[in-house]
Amino acid sequence: MSDLFNKCLKFTTAREVMAAGYYPYFHKIETAQGPEVIIDGQKKIVCCSNNYLGLTQHPKVVEASINAVRKYGTSCTGSRFLSGTIDLHEKVEKKFARFIGKESALLFTTGHHSNLGAISSLVTKGEYVITDKLDHASIVDGCRLSLGQMLRYRHNNMNDLERILSKFRETPKLVVIDGIFSMEGDICNLPEIIKLAKIYNARVMVDDAHSLGVLGKNGKGTAEHFGLESEIDIVMVTASKSLASIGGFIAAREEVIHFIKHTARSLIFTASLPAAQVAAIDASLDILQDEPERRVKLWENTNKMLEGFKSLGFNTKDSKTPIIPIHVGDDMKAFQMWRMLYDEGVFCSPVISPAVPEGEALIRTSYMAIHTDAHLDRVLNAFAKIGKNLGIISGTYKPRKASDKMPKSRIFKHLRITSKEIGDGSKKWMKNLFWRFGK
Residue 56 DSSP class: T
The neighbouring-strand residues paired with 150 are 129
Element holding 177 (H helix, E strand): strand 173-178
Sheet containing 104-108: give its strands across: 104-108, 248-252, 234-238, 203-207, 173-178, 128-132, 149-153
399 cis-preceded (ω within 30 degrees of 0): no
H-helix or E-strand containing 409? none
Chain centroid to CA 368: how far? Answer: 14
**Rounded CA gap, 209 and 232, in Å?**
15
CA pseudo-torsion sign 66, 68, 72, 78: negative
Which runs of consecutive H residues, i.e. helices, occur in 200-233?
Answer: 222-226
Catalytic residues: 182, 210, 241
Closest CA to 337 of 375, 374, 392: 392
Nearest Cα residue to 381 out of 370, 402, 371, 395: 395
Region label for 94, one of left (φ > 0), alpha (ψ between -120 and 50) or beta (otherwise): alpha
Q: How far apart are CA 331 and CA 354, in angstroms?
A: 10
In angstroms, rounded to a whole number, what is the distance separating the alpha carbons of residues 432 and 17? Answer: 14
Strand 173-178 relative to strand 128-132, pairing: parallel
Q: Which long-range contacts (CB under 8 A, 24 or more apart) does 122-127 make?
A: 122/146, 122/174, 122/256, 122/259, 122/260, 123/147, 123/148, 123/174, 124/148, 126/171, 126/172, 127/171, 127/172, 127/173, 127/174
